[in-house]
């Protein structure tokens, strides 16, 4: 699984070569931050979640390889008990 993660990361870096220099720097920064964040936050034994992240990453890479795509974004949604009270 570690090889798949590294391969995905390399795929993102290769895909940036076809983008403009400004977009390339932004995408490389985003990809690096996402991989680092997930490496610190995700338990290495949580294979199901890692597989989910790999699938999501592969879809994002497919989109990035499209000539019309100029960048990537991510959205984190968290709920607390005060925002989503149970009845």
Domain that holds residue 6: 2-64
Establish if 84 belongs to a structural domain: no
Whether the Cβ atoms of residue 5 and residue 55 lie closer than 8 Å to each other: no
Establish if 69 belongs to a structural domain: no
The per-residue pLDDT for range 20-78, each reduced to its tens digit, is 898 889 989 999 999 999 999 999 999 999 999 999 999 999 998 887 776 666 655 55
d(CA 73, CA 54): 16
Establish if 77 belongs to a structural domain: no
Q: How many domains does the chain have?
A: 1
pTM of the model: 0.72
Establish if 76 belongs to a structural domain: no
């Amino acid at each position: 699984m570690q090889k798949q993660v590294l391969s995905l990361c390399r795929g993102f870096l290769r895909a940036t070569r076809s983008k403009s220099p400004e977009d390339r720097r932004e995408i490389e920064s985003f990809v690096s931050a996402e991989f680092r964040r997930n490496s610190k936050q995700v338990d290495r034994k949580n294979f199901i979640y890692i597989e989910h992240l790999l699938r999501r990453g592969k879809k994002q890479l497919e989109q990035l390889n499209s000539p019309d795509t100029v960048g990537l974004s991510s959205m984190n949604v968290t709920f607390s008990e005060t925002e989503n009270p149970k009845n």
